[in-house]
C-alpha cells in the first residue's frame, strides 16, 4: 500500500513539474516575447566630436545621420529615422502607435517633454477587458483584434515637436523611408525570427499575407517591399498628421478596428478628434551630483526611475566589482519599493491626482530607504502613505505591460538632444495591419481589473478618453554645472525602468566603461520576485543574492539601451545594446 502511495506521489510530482514548466514558459513568452538575439558579445560603440545617433537599426541610423549632415536638428533626424524603423522594425514601433520625447534645446537650455500617448476610445468602460463571468480576458485574446487599439498619436506628436524644434522642411524627412518601402529592404534576423513566433499575426488576412505567416514568416536576407506604406508616407509627407486623423487613412484605421470579427473595437470617428499630444514639464530629480530628467504621467518611467535612485541616494554604492552583490541587493530592494508605489499611485494625471512631489520628496525617500536591510529582504513590500485624500483608497494594479518598443538617442551639431521612446506595445501590436502599417494594442496597458481584491479602485483602470499608464523612460542627465551629459532609454515593457536606472548606477556609481555598460546582466524587481538575466555573468551574482534571501527568476531580459555620453571636453560616445540590432554612429 505504501509502495503504491509512493508511486502515485512520484507521478504527481512529475506531472506537476511539467505543468509548472509549461506555465513558466508561457509567462516567459508573455514577459519577453521578443526573446534575445545575441546576449553574448560586445555592445555597438562609437565616438565622435560633432553629433551622434543611436537607433535600433543601421538603416534608421544612416537615415538620421543623412539628415544631420544636411543641417537638420535632432528632431528632424528622429522623424526620418522613426519612419524607417516603422518599415524595417515593425514589431516594435511605428505610426500606428505613440511615444514620448524629451528634447533639450541647447540655445535656451530648456527641456521639453512631449506626451504622445494614445487615449482610450470614448466608449471604453472599466470592465472592457472582463468576460461576462467577471474574469479578465487572456492577454492574447485581448490583444488580438480591435478592442485593444487606441487612435495612433505618434505622427501628431512628431509634427508638433517639429514645429518647435525642426530646422528642415517636413516633406524632406520622408525620402529614405519612401525609397526603402518602394525599392525594398533586406529582412533582418530579428524580424524573421519574430514573424515565426507571433501568435496573433495569423488573425488578420492583411498581416498574415504581408508577414508570410502561412509559410513560416519572413525569411532573413530576402528583399521586402511595402508599397502601401510608401503611399501612406506620401500622404503624411504632403498633409502632415491630418492624413492620419481624417480622410482615407483614418477611415482605414476605423474600419480595420471596428470590423474585426472576433474582437471588434469600440473606436468611433469622434475619437480621432481627441488626439492632441501635449507639451508638458519633465519630471526631474537629483542623484548624487547629477540632475536626472524623465517623463511624467501617464508614463511611470520618470517617477519610478527617480524613486529608485532617490532611495539609493541614502546608501554608498561605489565598488570596484561591477556585479557587487551588496550594490545589487540594495538596487533590487529600492526597485521593489518604487514599483510598489508605481502600482498604486501612477496613472493618467488627467484622471487622478498623481502625488508626484510627495513621491519624490527627499524625506519620504529617506524613510523608504530605512526599510531596506543589508542582510535580508523585504518580503512583503507595502505602498508608501501620503497625507493626500486622493491616494488613501487606491488598489494595486494588475497591468501586464509587454516589452516591444524602440528607443532613439540623438545629439546634433548644435548641441540639441533628443530621447524618443515609441511603441505599438506588444510585438507587432494588435496584429492588425492597414495602409501598410500595424496598429497598436496600447489599451492592454490598462489594468484589466478595475478593482483590487479588497474592492479598491485601481488608478490605472480603463476609462473613456483616458491614457493607459506607460513605462517608457526617455531620460536626459545633467552634471552639477547644468551641462547635458547623457541621453538614454530602452525598450523592455515594465522592465524599462530597471534597465535605465541600472545603467545610471553603473555609470555614476560603479564607473563602468561606457562600452561595457550593456554587457552587464540585466536585473530587476517589480514588487516581489527578482529577475536576473540568463547567462554566465549573472550566475555568481544570483547565488550571492539568493544567500540574502532573494527569490531569483532567471530569464531572457531583452533590453535595448541606446545611450549617448558627453565627456568633459564634449566628445561624444554612443552605445547600442548588443541584444538587438541597433547601431551607434557619429562624426
Catalytic (active-site) positions: 405
Cβ–Cβ under 8 Å, residues 501 and 305: yes
- In this structure, the number of other CB atoms found within 10 A of the CB of residue 444 comes to 25
The secondary structure of 17-71, three-state, reads HHHHHHHHHHHHHHHCCCCCCCCCCCCEEEEECCCEEEECCHHHHHHHHHHHHCC
Q: Which residues, listed in sequence order, are joined to residue 47 by a DSSP beta bridge?
A: 573
- Residue matched to cell numbers 536591510: 373
With a CB cutoff of 8 Å and minimum separation 6, the contacts of 286 are: 292, 313
What's the CA gap between 45 and 585, in Å, rounded?
8
Q: No. of H helices and E strands in the chain?
A: 17, 21
Name the nearest CA neighbour of 195 among 170, 222, 174.
222
Give me 94's grid cell.
511605428
Sign of CA dihedral 333, 338, 342, 344: positive
- Residue matched to cell numbers 545603467: 503
| Cis amide prior to 298 (ω within 30 degrees) | yes
| Widest pairwise Cα distance in the chain | 85
**Count of residues for the chain?**
587
Q: Which DSSP string corresponds to 188-245?
A: PHHHHHHHTS-TTGGGSHHHHHHTTGGGTSPPTT-EE--HHHHHHHHHHHHHTTHHHH
Give me 252's grid cell.
482605414
Cβ–Cβ under 8 Å, residues 211 and 248: no
Give me 268's grid cell.
468611433
Tally of CA atoms within 13 A in the half-sphere of 535 that contains its CB: 19
What's the CA gap between 273 and 280, in Å, rounded?
20
Amino acid at each position: 500500500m505504501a509502495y503504491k502511495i509512493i508511486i502515485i506521489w512520484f507521478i504527481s510530482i512529475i506531472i506537476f513539474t511539467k505543468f509548472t514548466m509549461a506555465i513558466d514558459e508561457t509567462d516567459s513568452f508573455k514577459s519577453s516575447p521578443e526573446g534575445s538575439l545575441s546576449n553574448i558579445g560586445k555592445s555597438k560603440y562609437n565616438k565622435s566630436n560633432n553629433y551622434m545617433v543611436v537607433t535600433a537599426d543601421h538603416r534608421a541610423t544612416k537615415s538620421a545621420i543623412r539628415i544631420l549632415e544636411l543641417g537638420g536638428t535632432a528632431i528632424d533626424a528622429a522623424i526620418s529615422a522613426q519612419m524607417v524603423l516603422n518599415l524595417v522594425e515593425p514589431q516594435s514601433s511605428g505610426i500606428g502607435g505613440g511615444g514620448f520625447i524629451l528634447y533639450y534645446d541647447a540655445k535656451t537650455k530648456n527641456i521639453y517633454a512631449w506626451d504622445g500617448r494614445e487615449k482610450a476610445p470614448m466608449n471604453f468602460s472599466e470592465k472592457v477587458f472582463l468576460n461576462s463571468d467577471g474574469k479578465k480576458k487572456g492577454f492574447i485574446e485581448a490583444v488580438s483584434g480591435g478592442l485593444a487599439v487606441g487612435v495612433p498619436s505618434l505622427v501628431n506628436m512628431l509634427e508638433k515637436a517639429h514645429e518647435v524644434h525642426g530646422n528642415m522642411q517636413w516633406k524632406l524627412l520622408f525620402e529614405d523611408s519612401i525609397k526603402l518601402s518602394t525599392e525594398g529592404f533586406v529582412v533582418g534576423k530579428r524580424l524573421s525570427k519574430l514573424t515565426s513566433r507571433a501568435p496573433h499575426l495569423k488573425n488578420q488576412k492583411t498581416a498574415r499575407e504581408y508577414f508570410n505567416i502561412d509559410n513560416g514568416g519572413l525569411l532573413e536576407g530576402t528583399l521586402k517591399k511595402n508599397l502601401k506604406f510608401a503611399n501612406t508616407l506620401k500622404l503624411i509627407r504632403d498633409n502632415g498628421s491630418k492624413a492620419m486623423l481624417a480622410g482615407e487613412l483614418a477611415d482605414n484605421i476605423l474600419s480595420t478596428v471596428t470590423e474585426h470579427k472576433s474582437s471588434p473595437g469600440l473606436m468611433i470617428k469622434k475619437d480621432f478628434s481627441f488626439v492632441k499630444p501635449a507639451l508638458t514639464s519633465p519630471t526631474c530629480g537629483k542623484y548624487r551630483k547629477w540632475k536626472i530628467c524623465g517623463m511624467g504621467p501617464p508614463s511611470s518611467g520618470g517617477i519610478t526611475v527617480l524613486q529608485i535612485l532617490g532611495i539609493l541616494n541614502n546608501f554608498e554604492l561605489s565598488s570596484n566589482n561591477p556585479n557587487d552583490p551588496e550594490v545589487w541587493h540594495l538596487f533590487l530592494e529600492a526597485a521593489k519599493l518604487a514599483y510598489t508605489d508605481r502600482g498604486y499611485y501612477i496613472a493618467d494625471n488627467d484622471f487622478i491626482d498623481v502625488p508626484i512631489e510627495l513621491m519624490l520628496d527627499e524625506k519620504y525617500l529617506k524613510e523608504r530607504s530605512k526599510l531596506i536591510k543589508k542582510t535580508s529582504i523585504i518580503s512583503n513590500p507595502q505602498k508608501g502613505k501620503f497625507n493626500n485624500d486622493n491616494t488613501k483608497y487606491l488598489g494595486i494594479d494588475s497591468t501586464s505591460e509587454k516589452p516591444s518598443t524602440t528607443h532613439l538617442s540623438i545629439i546634433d551639431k548644435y548641441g540639441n538632444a533628443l530621447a524618443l521612446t515609441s511603441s505599438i506595445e506588444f510585438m507587432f501590436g494588435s496584429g492588425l495591419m492597414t495602409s501598410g502599417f500595424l496598429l497598436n494594442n496600447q489599451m492592454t496597458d490598462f489594468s484589466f481589473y478595475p478593482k483590487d481584491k479588497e474592492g479598491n479602485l485601481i488608478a490605472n483602470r480603463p476609462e473613456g478618453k483616458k491614457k493607459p499608464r506607460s513605462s517608457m523612460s526617455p531620460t536626459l542627465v545633467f552634471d552639477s554645472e547644468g551641462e547635458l551629459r547623457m541621453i538614454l532609454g530602452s525598450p523592455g515593457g515594465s522592465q524599462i525602468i530597471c534597465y535605465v536606472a541600472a545603467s545610471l548606477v553603473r555609470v555614476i556609481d560603479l564607473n563602468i566603461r561606457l562600452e561595457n555598460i550593456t554587457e552587464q546582466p540585466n536585473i530587476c524587481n517589480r514588487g516581489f520576485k527578482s529577475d536576473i538575466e540568463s547567462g554566465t555573468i549573472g550566475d555568481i551574482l544570483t547565488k550571492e543574492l539568493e544567500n540574502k534571501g532573494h527569490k531569483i527568476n532567471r530569464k531572457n531580459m531583452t533590453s535595448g539601451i541606446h545611450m549617448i555620453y558627453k565627456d568633459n571636453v564634449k566628445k561624444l560616445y554612443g552605445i547600442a545594446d548588443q541584444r538587438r540590432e541597433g547601431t551607434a554612429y557619429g562624426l
